[in-house]
Amino acid sequence: MAHAEATLPSMLKLLADPTRLRMLALLALEELSVGELSRALDMAQSRVSNHLRILREADLLRERHVGPSTHLRLATPGNGQAPLGRLWTALQPELDALPEHAADRARLDGLLAERRARDGDFFDRVAGEWDKIAGAFSTGRARLRAGVTLLPADTVVADLGCGTGYMAESLLGACSKLICVDRSEGMLEEATKRLAGRGPTEVEVRPGALDALPIEDGEVDGVVAGMVLHHLEEPFGAVHEMLRVLRPGGAAAVLELAPHKEAWMHRELGDRHLGLEPQDVLAAFRRAGFESIALESVDDRYQPPSASGDPVSLALYLVRGRKPRA
């Protein structure tokens, strides 16, 4: 029997039972499992289940299944518009006056306190293991996305040598416009596939070279070049171009590989230089006219799979600078 079809006598009969009224009063306050409800009412679970069946048939319960247990809450009948809903709205303030309600509330408070203590203990117990447990089902991308919404988002950023858009992806949502530049049409096609229709950031891909960027003077607020400069024959000319395309006060960040000896990377990964000296990148920033220049270590390693199968783990660093305002 759905509540919309309930007759007035059946509605009144439903609400005329003191046990059902006590149950409804508790479920209006808190979502409870059947076991918890029985404890709060100090009543055998079989008796509670019989009444629950009647309430369920009248569509008065919202149910949620967690593992083997069912959690119940009062569903406002017909959003309070149907006759049963109106009746319930009128009755609700009277429920506090039920003789057994004070004792029900006291038992409910006790079991909610137990539940809080148990939930607290649960996280204390699993804290050391949590990353392993949650690693399987958590998504870092969503968390990063939530975090970047807190940053000023009305900025235009250029990702220079964007490749397949791996780095640009982490900037989605963090800026209003993202200009992805690469000289490889194939890479730009892949970047477009990865970045298209992914959120509020406008993405524009532009074919072009780092030493003659397809970007107007002062067009962007920030430029990033990740793992790109060591691919250029003359890596440092690109730093002048970065300054040109930045608006006054705009910022540049270069992520680079520290010098290494993995000569196979020339052949296998198209690297022209086996890493770059951080001091050379810093000097290029100074020569170009950047200010507030900083060298930072990066808490990450570059671990390309080598042809020999030997593990390779290379150091990375970051150089940043700002275009003077005046």
Ligand X SMILES: C[S@@+](CC[C@H](N)C(=O)[O-])C[C@H]1O[C@@H](n2cnc3c(N)ncnc32)[C@H](O)[C@@H]1O
| Gyration radius from the chain CA atoms | 32
**Token code pair at residue 235:** 């890596």
CA atoms of 33 and 38, how far apart (whole Å): 9
For ligand X, give the closer residue by CB, 38 or 201.
201
Each residue 179-208 as x (binds ligand X by CB under 6 A) or -, in order, gives: ---xxx--x---------------------
- Which of 77, 163, 275, 321 is in the footprint of ligand X by CB under 6 A? 163
Site for ligand X contains 98 (CB under 6 A): no
3-state secondary structure (DSSP) of residue 77: helix
User: Of all residues in this chain, which one has the CB nearest to ligand X in the complex?
Assistant: 163
Provide the b/e sequence for 109-146 (b: ≥16 CB within 10 Å): eebeeeeeeeeeeeeeeeeeeeeeeeeeeeeeeeeeee
Site for ligand X contains 222 (CB under 6 A): no
187: left (phi over 0), alpha (psi -120 to 50) or beta: alpha
**Token code pair at residue 169:** 């992806």
Least distance (Å) from ligand X to the CB of residue 211? 6
**Token code pair at residue 22:** 């006590």
- Which of 226, 275, 278, 321 is in the footprint of ligand X by CB under 6 A? 226
Residue 88: its H or E element: helix 83-95
Site for ligand X contains 32 (CB under 6 A): no
Least distance (Å) from ligand X to the CB of residue 223? 12
For ligand X, give the closer residue by CB, 43 or 148.
148
* Position 127, amino acid: A
- Which of 158, 210, 265, 288 is in the footprint of ligand X by CB under 6 A? 210
* Helix 83-95 / helix 8-15 crossing angle, nearest 10 deg: 20
Site for ligand X contains 162 (CB under 6 A): yes
- Which of 58, 195, 215, 232 is in the footprint of ligand X by CB under 6 A? 232
Site for ligand X contains 228 (CB under 6 A): yes
For ligand X, give the closer residue by CB, 221 or 271.
271
What number of other Cβ atoms are within 10 A of residue 65's Cβ?
8
Size of the site for ligand X (CB under 6 A): 16
Least distance (Å) from ligand X to the CB of residue 255? 7
Contact residues for ligand X (CB under 6 A)? 161-163, 166-167, 182-184, 187, 209-210, 226-228, 231-232
